[in-house]
Chains A and B, each alone.
Chain A
Amino acid sequence: MTASGVLYIVVFFLTLLALTKPLGLYMANVFEGRRTFIHPAVRPLERLTYRALGVREDVEQRWTQYAASLLAFSLAGFLFVYLLQRLQGFLPLNPMGFGTKHAPANHTPMTPDLAFNTAVSFITNTNWQAYGGETTLSYLVQMAALTVQNFVSAAVGIAVAIALIRGFARKQMNTIGNFWVDLTRATLYVLLPLSFLFALFLCARGVPQTFKRYVRAKTLAGSSQTIAIGPVASQEAIKMLGTNGGGFFNQNSAHPYENPTPLTNFMEILAILVISSGLTYTFGKMVGDTRQGWALFAAMSVLFFAGAFICYGAEQAGNPNLARLGIETRATRTQPGGNMEGKEVRFGIASSALWATATTDASNGSVNSMLDSYTPLGGLIPMFNLQTDEVIFGGVGSGLYGILMYAIVGVFIAGLMVGRTPEYLGKKIEQKEVKMAMIAIIATAFAILVFTAVTLDARFAAHGYWNSPGPAVANVNNGGPHGFSEILYAFSSQAENNGSAFAGLNVNTPWYNLVGGLAMLIGRFFFIIPALAIAGSLAAKKKVPETSGTLPTHGTLFVGLLVGVIIVVGALTFFPALSLGPLVEYFLMLKGKLYSSLWLTTWS
């Protein structure tokens, strides 16, 4: 590790810390309906929105109605995105002619299964890329389908988090807010203004924003180069802020047009975590005790630092198989050293590793370096972050409701140890809440492990629809345990609505598109609906007074308990799978063992 690399991570964290309170306070004001400094500009637009939707701002919903609205909205979103993709050839803003016979020779056809996967991916805030943006999608689809979902799927996450906070804050009420109002406020007051400013910043630093067709250049060496451009900045901004992560380009934020400089890189990583970090303060503010929010922030910070430094250390140490060939893997004054395969020079090791950690701390899933080429332990961190449900700041909204699930499990375990009914924030945590929290945590684990296992065993007939003939594992790019990691990572990423990938795996086949789509739906809605059920159940409860037997949930003891629960639940569920992938690969790498992909022929 280098001094500038360590400084990078520390300065990053301090910046995040400094922004948490002001942004969190602002969001608390917005969602509690108080005036803020941008009300004069936004309030008329908000009123217009309610008229356009035909909803009343002052009517609240029970949790079941809230969930029904959310599901209906997601269904409508799915149909919009699916149809826009399938019909892109007939629609405007398509200068490259995707979906028509004038499409570039290297285009990827928008098949029904790919359109399904991508639509599910964007309504669930996953933004898994089975497609390569610049070879598949028209500008209209990038904007009117993907950018829109980048906003609203993130706003849905924030809405659920706010509803769950209300569950804790309220007493003896049967409503938890109005979905349409929360959705609208999250979009208009939080995501849109921040994205607007961020998009202008990005464009000023070199991110393109144009509707013109791709550029043809005659290179200095005399050959020709077609350069994909488009309305990138507007999408890049919300892609980061909304923890979406689906890139305009195939190579996502590693692409120089999405992330041109070290400064844009720093700001983009910050954009991944800033809203989620702010929401911890919003939580404390809305439940009437900001220490409760800071306790969650502290637990997240512990896990953040652990992940960032393990990943950075592993990547800087590099790959001994390459060091043996005479490559300088130590960092020097003039070169970054470490494992540079799949990384960009302008970012080097530290900010690539920090990005990999942050993007999986949250449900972002964008990448500025290729995780598939990470060293085994460097790749283990993102994978474990996914599998523990992305609660280290987490996705916008989903990080907060995720860690509150773990907090419920945590106080339940603590309650078992002393034989008392557990309480959290003055609410008795009873059978229903614990059951719901467990459903959320188990459903995603089920999707990851079962879908991985089934895929490992799946074989396909010749001339079939689902995949190329032979075993599904033949789609991997790497042999040995790394190939297993590719598949495990693919389902972890989709079930946890992340969207990053060990991208060597060929996932654009009907099998991977449909099973992956199913994993995304399970991961999204089997988490959100239990969270809303808990919100409804808690809102109806009385507040019980604190006694000497109450576990304080704002101190070090609780922070330690929460961190412990997250790691233990994750390890118990995934250790066997992880030891077949990254862990065994680590020891084999140290011994110099190499795999060719040819071993796969023995499978068929």
Chain B
Amino acid sequence: MWRQLIPAFRAMLFFTVLTGLVYPGVITAVCQTFFHYQANGSLIRVHGQIIGSSLIGQEFTRARYFHPRPSACDYDASASGASNDGPTNAKLVARIKASIAEFRRDNPDYTGPIPADLVTASASGLDPDISVASAEAQGARVASARGISVNEVRALIRENTQGRVLGFLGEPRVNVLALNLALDSRRR
């Protein structure tokens, strides 16, 4: 084995340069040229100021905005994290009970069952989306906080709903930041 160490170290040097520097370097050059927006994080600017990324969820707590899912890392996009609470963990049940109570208090007009995604923590802690049902459940609250009609809010939800890719990949969903931006930029 010791005699093999010479080619082993030469191989490590060679492959480090090839797959660790040249390969990512070339990919970076190509992506920065052709996919500049995506390669830099799909950032959204309003009046020149970066307000976030269309792919990364952010916190909304005021009634006039749609709220995202609970996040175990408080939407800290520099340290993603999940709850890792197991199905028989008392902490999980207590937390979700509290989320449900809070939701019911904030949305007295909604009486249907609670969509599962709305009160459970996401895997990344940065989930940018909520289900269509979760958006609809918040519609009446947002409408009354903004003094606009529920129908107008529903129409915005519909406009910002992305269906399944090819009809079967993934789930229909609403990007919370996009929807809230649409609300803010709505013509008065």
Q: Which residues of A contact B (CB under 8 A)?
A: 4, 7-8, 11, 49, 52-55, 65, 68-69, 71-73, 75-77, 80, 104, 106, 132, 134-135, 143-145, 147-148, 151-152, 180, 183, 187, 192, 195-196, 199-200, 203-212, 214-221, 223, 225-229, 231, 233-235, 238, 249-251, 254-257, 260-263, 265-266, 318-319, 321-322, 325-329, 332-348, 351-352, 367-370, 372-376, 477-482, 485-486, 502-504, 585, 588-589, 593-597
Q: Of B16, B53, B168, which is within 8 A of A227 by CB?
A: B53
A220 touches B27 (CB 8 A): no
**Contact in complex: B84, A347 (CB < 8 Å):** no
| CB closest residue in chain A, given B129 | A345
Which residues of chain A are within 8 angstroms of B169 by Cβ–Cβ distance? Answer: 8, 262-263, 265-266, 351
Of the candidates B18, B58, B128, which one forms a contact with A220 in the assembled complex, judged by CB atoms under 8 Å apart? B58
B184 near A: Cβ within 8 Å? yes
B93 to A322, Cβ gap below 8 A?
A: yes
B113 partner residues in chain A, CB cutoff 8 A: 326-328
B111 CB, nearest partner CB in chain A, Å? 11
Q: Decide yes or no: A325 and B97 within 8 Å by CB, A11-B168, A54-B7 being known contacts.
A: yes
- Please give the distance in Å from B55's CB to the nearest CB on chain A: 4
Partner of B125, one of A217, A233, A251, A262: A251
Q: Does B150 contact A (CB under 8 A)?
A: no
- Which of A55, A221, A251 contacts B80 (CB under 8 A)? A251
Q: In the complex, which residue of chain A has the Cβ closest to the Cβ of B100?
A: A325
Checking B88, B100, B177 against A326 with a beta-carbon cut-off of 8 angstroms, the contacting residue is B100
Given known pairs A262-B169, A347-B171, the reply for A482 and B60 (CB within 8 Å) is no
Q: B120 contacts which chain A residues (CB < 8 A)?
A: 322, 339-343
- Which residues of chain B have C-beta atoms less than 8 A from A486's C-beta? 86
Q: State which of B2, B59, B85, B100 has its C-beta within 8 Å of the C-beta of A372.
A: B85
Contact B1 A335 (CB under 8 A): no
Q: Which residues of A contact B184 (CB under 8 A)?
A: 220
Q: Which residues of B contact A260 (CB under 8 A)?
A: 42, 55
* B171 lies within 8 A of A336 (CB): yes
Q: Which of A134, A214, A215, A234 contacts B23 (CB 8 A)?
A: A234
Cα distance, A308 to B19, chains bound together (Å): 34
Q: For this complex, into which size category does the number of interface residues on chain B fall? A: 35 or more
Residues of B within 8 A of A (CB): 1-16, 18-21, 23-24, 26-28, 30-32, 34-35, 38-43, 49-53, 55-62, 65, 69, 75-93, 96-97, 100, 112-117, 119-134, 136, 164-165, 167-173, 177, 180-181, 184
Q: How far is the CB of A334 from chain B (nearest CB, A)?
A: 4
| A256→B126 contact, CB < 8 A | yes
Q: Which residues of the partner chain A approach B65 to less than 8 Å between Cβ atoms?
A: 220-221
Select which of A135, A145, A339 is within 8 A of B78 by beta carbon: A135
Q: Contacts A54-B6, A144-B20, A215-B43 given: A478-B121 contact, CB under 8 Å?
A: no
Decide: A72 near B5, CB < 8 A? Known: A4-B168, A215-B50, A328-B116.
yes
B165 contacts A187, C-beta separation under 8 Å: no
Contact residue among B23, B75, B78, B168 (Cβ-Cβ distance under 8 Å from A192) = B23
CB <8 Å contact, B14 and A53: yes
Contact check, A341 vs B12: say whether CB atoms are below 8 A apart: no
Q: Within the complex, which residue of A257, A328, A329, A595 is in contact with B88, where a contact is CB–CB below 8 Å? A: A595
Are B9 and A344 closer than 8 Å at their CB atoms?
no
Q: Select one of B15, B90, B115 contacting A335, CB under 8 A.
A: B115
Q: What residues of chain B lie closer than 8 Å to A477, measured between beta carbons?
A: 84-86, 89
Known: A69-B8, A329-B116, A345-B69. A482 touches B133 (CB 8 A): no
Q: Classify the interface of chain B: helix, strand, loop or mixed.
A: mixed
CB contacts (< 8 Å) of A326 on chain B: these are 100, 113-114
Q: Which residues of A contact B181 (CB under 8 A)?
A: 220
- Expressed in whole angstroms, the Cα–Cα distance for A339 and B122 within the complex equals 11
Give the contacting residue for B1; candidates A72, A80, A206; CB below 8 A: A72
B128 to chain A, nearest CB (A): 6
Q: Find out whether the CB atom of A135 lies under 8 angstroms from the CB atom of B124.
A: no
Q: Which one of A255, A266, A372 lies within 8 Å of B126 (CB-CB)?
A: A255
Chain A residue at minimal CB-CB distance from B17? A144
Minimum distance in angstroms from A507 CB to a CB of chain B = 12
What are 5 A-B contacts defined by CB distance under 8 Å?
A72-B2, A147-B20, A228-B77, A318-B116, A372-B84
**Is the beta-carbon distance between A255 and B117 smaller than 8 angstroms?**
no
Contact partner of B92 (CB less than 8 A), chosen from A336, A341, A481, is A341
The listed residue (A8, A334, A341, A370) touching B131 by CB distance below 8 A is A334
User: Top 10 nearest A-B pairs by Cβ distance?
Assistant: A262-B170, A504-B84, A254-B123, A348-B171, A482-B86, A144-B20, A335-B133, A72-B4, A335-B131, A251-B80
Q: In the complex, which of the residues A211, A221, A338 contacts B59, with contact meaning CB atoms closer than 8 Å?
A: A221
What is the minimal beta-carbon distance from B49 to any residue of chain A, in angstroms? Answer: 6
- Beyond the given pairs A72-B2, A504-B86, 13 more chain A to chain B contacts, judged by CB atoms under 8 angstroms and listed by A's residue number, are A68-B4, A71-B1, A73-B8, A199-B31, A225-B75, A327-B96, A328-B116, A335-B115, A342-B121, A343-B117, A373-B92, A478-B86, A595-B90
B138 → chain A closest CB, angstroms: 13
Inter-chain CA distance A85–B35, complex, in Å, is 30
Expressed in whole angstroms, the Cα–Cα distance for A75 and B8 within the complex equals: 8
Q: A217-B50, A595-B89 are in contact. Are A340 and B15 (CB under 8 A)?
A: no
Q: A147-B19, A335-B116 are in contact. Are A325 and B126 (CB under 8 A)?
A: no
Chain B residues within an 8 Å CB radius of A132: 79-81
Output the least CB separation between A275 and chain B (Å): 16
CA distance A337 to B43 in the complex (A): 31
A233 touches B52 (CB 8 A): no
Residue from B60, B76, B89 having most chain A Cβ neighbours under 10 A: B89
What is the bound-complex CA distance between A339 and B89, given in angstroms? 14
Among residues of B, the one whose C-beta sits closest to the C-beta of A179 is B4
* B41–A215 CB distance below 8 A: yes
Q: Are B20 and A217 in contact (CB under 8 A)?
A: no
Residues of B within 8 A of A597 (CB): 89, 91
Q: Are B83 and A337 in contact (CB under 8 A)?
A: no
Contacts of A147 in B (CB 8 A): 19-20, 23-24
Which chain A residues lie closer than 8 Å to B170 at the CB level?
261-263, 265, 346-348, 351
> In the complex, what's the smallest C-beta–C-beta distance from B157 to chain A, in angstroms?
10
The answer to whether B91 and A596 have CB atoms under 8 Å apart is yes
Chain B neighbourhood of A334, CB < 8 A: 115, 131-133, 136, 172
